[in-house]
Amino acid sequence: MKLLRVKPGHGDVVLAEGDVEVPEQHAQLLQAFRSQLDAGMWAAVPTSTDAGLRQAEMVHSFEDIPIGAERVIFFPRAAGGR
Amino acid sequence: MALAFGTLAVVLVALLSLLALERLRDSALLPTLRALPVRLTGARLHALADSYDPGRELRAEQRARELLRSCVNEEEWSMYCELGFLRVNSTLAREDCAYLLYPHKPILAYVPACGLIVGEYCVEFPDHTRPYGSARLPDADDVLAKWMALAADERGLIEQANMHLPGRQIRMAKARRDLARLASWEREHQPRPAGPSSVPAR
């Protein structure tokens, strides 16, 4: 699984990458995930259905990440614009 | 008596002002004050010029487009490339509504059945860490953030946005033109009904 964050001037940046089944990598992923949420980011997992429909799912904790998800994308929290 | 004191006071103030002006002219304060706006503007422009790198922004935009492409389906990607926006249907059960997602512009809500433009939902995704002095995401990342937030929690995003009447930021003429372009694009991309085969049947 990859944790990505979109950033001004960068595009997406890989924050962490690993296998959630491997304890050490799981810990790294978990730490990176929490630090992003603590920094006020939103996290979404892009998903697709068998019919080819692309969707996204917001995740609020590491346990919410769907099993088999390949990536989690962090992006800044929405704010009402002018 | 009062008139005499008043006149005296005015004369004193005038004399003191003249003296102060003379001293101000002699000092370096006046030229410094005069040059201040120029120096401030120059410093700001210099800082902006230092932080803005067109090559970096272009690379960021290319990466953002790749990420968007990997998240949406082929049809949506083609729509974004050709029209410059994404269309997302509302999933709120009782509302027949769809949205156009433009980069760094409000989300435009409209009724697909009649083309009525309902309003603009103004929402931003500012990155306060400002890695290069700007909180603005690349265009495709901004569209992706809107798309993911709408797909995952439409009601939450719409409630968070500031709603304005149509035409506030996106001109009505542009919105109508974009809806017409979208309709034309959809006609071109809809699957054609199976017609008679060009190969003669035996």
The predicted structure's pLDDT at residue B199:
45
**The pLDDT of residue A12 is above 70:** yes
Confirm whether B195 is domain-assigned.
no
Q: How many domains does chain B have?
A: 2
- Confidence category of residue B16, pLDDT binned at 50, 70, 90: confident
Q: Which residues contact B82 (CB under 8 A, 6 or more apart)?
A: B185
Of the candidate ranges A17-26, A56-65, B45-54, B112-121, the one whose mean pLDDT is the lowest: B45-54
And the tokens for B140?
Answer: 């495709």
Percent of chain B with pLDDT over 90: 59
Confirm whether B182 is domain-assigned.
yes
Q: Residues B9, B91: one domain?
A: no
Residues A81 and B106 sit within 8 Å (Cβ to Cβ): yes
Q: Residues B10, B90: one domain?
A: no
Burial class (CB in 10 A: 0-12, 13-18, 19+), A53: exposed
Q: With contacts defined as CB-CB under 8 Å, which chain A residues touch B50?
A: none
Q: Residues B29, B71: one domain?
A: no
Per the CB < 8 Å rule, is B67 touching A78?
no
Query: CA-CA distance, B191 to B198, in Å (whole number)?
Result: 18
The alpha-carbon gap from B145 to the nearest alpha carbon of chain A, in Å, equals: 7
The predicted structure's pLDDT at residue A64:
94
- Indicate the domain borders of chain A: 2-76
Q: Residues B32, B81: one domain?
A: no
- Confidence category of residue B2, pLDDT binned at 50, 70, 90: confident
Q: Which domain holds residue B181?
A: 57-189
**The pLDDT of residue A17 is above 90:** yes
Q: Does A75 touch chain B (CB under 8 A)?
A: yes
Q: Residues B75, B126: one domain?
A: yes
Average pLDDT, chain A: 94
Q: Residues B182, B142: one domain?
A: yes
Per the CB < 8 Å rule, is B122 touching A79?
no
Q: Residues B14, B109: one domain?
A: no
Percent of chain A with pLDDT over 70: 100
Q: Residues B24, B74: one domain?
A: no
Q: With contacts defined as CB-CB under 8 Å, which chain B residues touch A42?
A: 149
Residues A42 and A77 sit within 8 Å (Cβ to Cβ): yes
Looking at residue B198, what DSSP letter applies? S
Predicted ipTM beyond 0.85 = yes
Q: Does B123 touch chain A (CB under 8 A)?
A: yes
Q: Residues B107, B181: one domain?
A: yes
Q: Shortest CB distance from B125 goes to which of A46, A54, A78?
A: A78
Q: What is the pLDDT of residues B97-145, one digit of tens each?
A: 999 999 999 999 999 999 999 999 999 999 998 888 889 999 999 999 9
The predicted structure's pLDDT at residue B65:
97
Q: Which residues contact B105 (CB under 8 A, 6 or more apart)?
A: B169, B170
Q: Residues B86, B182: one domain?
A: yes
The predicted structure's pLDDT at residue B58:
95
Nearest residue of chain A to residue B91 (CA atoms) = A55
Mean of pLDDT values over B142-157: 95
The alpha-carbon gap from A7 to the nearest alpha carbon of chain B, in Å, equals: 6
Confirm whether B51 is domain-assigned.
no
Q: What is the pLDDT of residues B22-54, one digit of tens each?
A: 776 666 665 566 666 666 565 555 555 557 889
Q: Shortest CB distance from A9 goes to which of B76, B132, B148?
A: B132
Q: Which residues contact B140 (CB under 8 A, 6 or more apart)?
A: B61, B64, B65, B67, B68, B80, B103
